[in-house]
Chains A and B, each alone.
Chain A
Amino acid sequence: MKDKLEIPDYNTLFQTEPYVKQREGKKAFEAPCSEQETAEALAYSKSSEYKDKNFARTSLVVNPHKACQPLGALMAALGFEKTLPFIHGSQGCTAYFRSHLSRHFKEPTPAVSSSMTEDGAVFGGMNNLIDGLENSVALYKPEMIAVSTTCMAEVIGDDLQAFISNARQKGAISNEIPVPYANTPSFSGSHITGYDSMLKSILSTLFIRSGIEATPGSGEGTGEKLNVIIGFEPYTGNFAEIRKILAAFDTGYTFLGDHSGNFDSPATGEYSYYYGGTKLADVPKAANALGTLSLQKYSVKKTLEYISGTWKQQTVAMSTPLGIHATDRLIESISELTGLPIPPELVEERGRVVDALLDSHPYLHGKRVALVGDPDLLIGLIEFCLEVGIEPIHIVCSNGENGFKEEAKALLAASPYGAETTVHIGNDLWHMRSLLIDDPVDLAIGSSHLKFAAKDADVPLIRVGFPVFDRHHLHRYPIIGYQGALNLLTTIVNTILQGLDEDSSGFNHDLVR
């Protein structure tokens, strides 16, 4: 045998004796709490007294489950062809949005900032915006620039409309390039609000520039039949799934916002700043479609109002269609909106997935879960859980509003599996920690940020939603549609089976399950 070169990594290196000794030695200078104090504080943090205090806090926020508006605006911008997201304000924000999205998708996130500093705070950011537009056109050659704001620009009250029009007058940007803009202060709403504002701004800007009048149903091409909005969507796989379903219907459609290309581009040896996205010319045409189907509703409220108001279109909005019933409604909605029959292959696919659910139901039934996520995702997860006999126990939605809470409660009240559920809006993951410890569950479902509370409560975490930083490629697999239901089922049931194996002591290390 060849001599093996031992290279211990951080997981093993710091468990070795010299490092353990070092760790102990360092305490002499740390003035640490005693082991007893730490143990007592840990026990206290797991008490019901602590839980009550935790829920009584009014101002402190610990580990919230939401990002801020401009991050969503950036995602909306990347849903359109050759569109450069431009964030007006101080530059650190843009660095953070780009890192955050890149960590989730493992993909580049192009976006520029107007890099405002102290003088911007005093004199306003007009010059930065004008110079910035000129520079970004020269460097990144976009066909559209979508401008959103950070807190800074919002607090000092920069007037984007005036600034952009001044930039055009000064020749910094040609009239050919649309510049939709959205006010996206981080001190209201969350990433989903920002997504909505920017999507609406892009649609209305491109529509107004076209000069056409919206006449629903007047479109002639197949692409003008149906519009599909997918929303703040952390799964590129969900785009592929809805495409597959629409292809089965053999209907034309237009995605209003398709960032799947930008967040799932091929490695070819060349990098282009822009991949895929809704064609800018398709947006005005979309105003003539029969109707718009949206796969999220809480995250595209204003956009849907715009489409039904200004475009006078029929809109059908549902929360993320997870599970069989929600997918059934999705399929039926497409059939109704397009007047096309339900394709038999989808019915067959449904049957196969139901078969899989039957195979696995003994392991799912009565499992108690905790759920964390954005409002639309949570509605989908709740419905999925209820239809397979999983009992949601704790639900935390940091960016949920009353409407969401009422819908969630009604959904839960209609099922015996929802009898024990409590829904918390505006709460954070430190609240969830108390919930998980106070009233234990079998599984937690949520983003990577839930891993800390899940570990403290010793409960396995199934990563669903945004952001997922610490697992690879999950976003490539759909969670919507019948295929998505199968993917969710597979992940959940195998996590449970893995737990059974880990807990087995020999005689019950079963071969067949």
Chain B
Amino acid sequence: MGLNIEDNQKMLEEILEVYPEKARKDRQKHFEINNEELINCGKCAIKSNMKSRPGVMTQRGCAYAGSKGVVWGPIKDMVHISHGPVGCGQYSWGTRRNYANGTLGIDNFTAMQVTSDFQETDIVFGGDKKLEVICREIKEMFPLAKGISIQSECPVGLIGDDIEAVSKKMSIELGLPIIPVRCEGFRGVSQSLGHHIANDAIRDFLMGKKELAECGPYDINIIGDYNIGGDAWASRILLEEMGLRVIAQWSGDGTINELAIAHKAKLNLIHCHRSMNYMVTTMEKAYGIPWLEYNFFGPTKTAESLRAIAARFDEYIQENCEKVIAKYTPQMEAIISKFKPRLEGKKVMLLVGGLRARHTLGAYEDLGMEVVGTGYEFAHKDDYEKTFPELPEGTIIYDDPTAYELEELAQRLDIDLMGSGVKEKYVYHKMGIPFRQMHSWDYSGPYHGYDGFKIFAKDMDMTINSPVWSLINSGKTGSLPKKEAGV
């Protein structure tokens, strides 16, 4: 199967047949097959940011995961309390690979699980008193912490704790910014509301609170890069080589000071638009800072983005930009000439978060690969509107697909690579479909920027062309699979 619109439409109908009627009607609205109209007008009818059906094995997480796991967690010089029972903090402990420099437990608190570990008594009597004590104990145990965030878990909202009042009181007592974040997991339909809530807390408690010693004409912010495997570092290096000055990095390897001085920048560069668009629009309104979405996956998109960024500045930056692109072009050509012959024509399906399902397309295309299906866990309408024009007719676009739908699509489209998360990874290994975990780069990375693309290309080749795939049984019992010629 490939990019035939009619065939794909029929295939989708077949796949959805298994659902009970109510669920089928809902799920149908979350699929679109790309066509000329969608590509041109960019408007889409695909339903997104809606509740997942119960009982269907969605890939989605929750608001807490969006706030603590994505936005706040990587801010390294703050202690983030997972406020509530033990689980949420435990499961999100160090699993997203938000790299940060510093000494863990001393001036860097990223890969730690700090929790109020609610017990039954806290549910019955409320956790506010305990939270006060916890704040004091944090000050005692982590004297260099520059702030505290309180990431509330489900029960906190349900029992009516007043974390805002505790934060206010303790902030004065301890002389530290203490930020309550109402990111209980039952709020909203996915991680997405958690990002929004987290952004609002940054706006209300930190934005504009500090001054920058000296402002310059080339001051910019990196917004929405969480430094997975060092992504933000591999991005920042290009911007700095171009002559720009990155004054804040939100939030991978970020600090509370960077959150508070970012309003001094001349331009906001946003990578993950889904998780932090609220910030750039807020800063545009409040401080008149323009913003630009950029994409540093793959040399084509990286160069396009670098030029678009440079276009916002003067000739000095524009010249530097060309020098940077010229410097890396031969390196990229070497990578492409090595890996493209091994990857040309390979069919890819993606299901990742709220950014990479479209941002990474260019990187695959640079390697001659073809994305035949893509979609998001928690995207909104605007994400889809940006996605359709990037893809050829016939591509299947899906929103919040269930494990069952993805598995059916992957098999029927006979794909060569699936890119999704750890929950999906081992399913595809059983099916014999090469898989990359595209949330934390399968413990590799960085994938951003030119340095990142080298690793990306190597990883895709390693994944698709590993001889190990050819060892998989045919599924027949009582006989061993034959070795294929040329393998």
Contacts and interface: CB of A to CB of B under 8 A. Distances in A.
Contacts of A156: 158
Nearest to A16: B451
Interface in B43-90: 51-65, 77, 84-88, 90
A349 B458 CA distance: 46
A8 B137 CA distance: 42
Contacts of A268: 430, 432, 472-475
B114 A95 contact: no
A452 B104 contact: yes
A57 B109 CA distance: 18
A32 B120 contact: no
A266 interface: yes
Nearest to A120: B186
Nearest to A269: B432
Contacts of B146: 31
Contact of B105 (A9, A13, A45, A109): A45
B133 A60 contact: yes
B267 to A, nearest CB: 15
A505 interface: no
B274 to A, nearest CB: 17
Given A29-B257, A108-B430, A269-B432, A61 B116 contact: yes
Contacts of B287: none
Given A102-B423, A112-B56, A430-B141, A92 B65 contact: yes
A107 B99 CA distance: 26
Contact of A139 (B18, B103, B115, B133): B18
Interface in B79-121: 84-88, 90-93, 95, 99, 101-107, 111-120
Nearest to A30: B255
A269 B62 contact: no
A68 B430 contact: no
A42 B106 contact: yes
A99 B95 CA distance: 9
B473 A155 contact: no
B217 interface: no
Given A29-B257, A116-B186, A62 B427 contact: no
Interface string B407-434: 1000000000000011111111111100
B180 interface: no
A135 B65 contact: no
B125 to A, nearest CB: 12
Interface string B284-295: 000000000000
Contacts of B56: 112, 132, 135-136, 139
Given A22-B237, A30-B258, A150-B154, A64 B133 contact: no
Contacts of B65: 92, 95-96
A30 B246 CA distance: 11
Contact of B143 (A41, A96, A99): A41
A140 B446 contact: no
Contact of B54 (A26, A129, A138): A129
A92 B473 contact: no
A134 interface: yes
A111 B86 CA distance: 20
A131 interface: yes
Given A95-B59, A152-B155, A60 B114 contact: yes
Nearest to B19: A138
Interface in B118-163: 118-120, 122-123, 130, 133-134, 137-138, 140-141, 143-144, 146, 153-155, 157-159
Nearest to A19: B233
B458 A267 contact: no
A100 interface: yes
Interface residues of A, number: 102
A439 interface: no
Interface in A88-142: 89-93, 95-100, 102-103, 106-118, 120-121, 128-129, 131-136, 138-140
Contact of A96 (B55, B59, B92): B92
A13 B334 contact: no
A470 B18 CA distance: 39
A285 B238 CA distance: 68
Contacts of A187: 84-85, 118-120, 122-123, 155
Nearest to B229: A10
A134 B212 CA distance: 58
Interface in B212-237: 212, 229-230, 233-234, 236-237
Given A31-B255, A42-B106, A151-B153, A99 B91 contact: yes
Contact of B123 (A22, A31, A58, A155): A155
A5 interface: yes
Contacts of B18: 138-139
Contacts of A66: 86, 90
Contacts of B422: 99, 102-103
Contact of A26 (B99, B249, B256): B249
A90 to B, nearest CB: 4
Nearest to A97: B91
B455 interface: yes
B103 A42 contact: yes
Contact of A13 (B58, B118, B246, B446): B446
A131 B473 contact: no
B445 interface: yes
Interface centre among A60, A64, A92, A134 (most CB of B within 10 A): A92
Nearest to A399: B86
B3 interface: no
A342 to B, nearest CB: 36
Contacts of A139: 18-19, 55-57, 402, 404
Nearest to A271: B430
A142 B474 CA distance: 25
A64 B117 contact: yes
Nearest to B54: A132
Contacts of A401: none
A508 interface: no
Contacts of B140: 53, 57
A33 interface: yes
Contacts of B424: 108
A190 interface: yes
A96 B404 contact: no
A433 B103 CA distance: 14
B5 interface: no
B421 A267 contact: no
A356 to B, nearest CB: 33
A409 interface: no
Contact of A68 (B85, B185, B230): B85
Given A64-B113, A68-B86, A115-B55, 18 more contacts: A10-B230, A14-B99, A61-B114, A62-B115, A96-B61, A96-B92, A108-B425, A108-B430, A110-B403, A115-B54, A134-B20, A139-B18, A139-B19, A139-B55, A152-B185, A186-B86, A430-B105, A452-B112
17 contacts: A14-B99, A19-B233, A30-B255, A42-B106, A67-B90, A103-B422, A117-B188, A151-B118, A152-B158, A186-B87, A186-B118, A187-B85, A187-B118, A188-B120, A266-B473, A269-B431, A452-B104
Q: Which are the 5 A-B pairs with shortest beta-carbon distances?
A: A92-B62, A132-B55, A132-B54, A68-B87, A96-B91
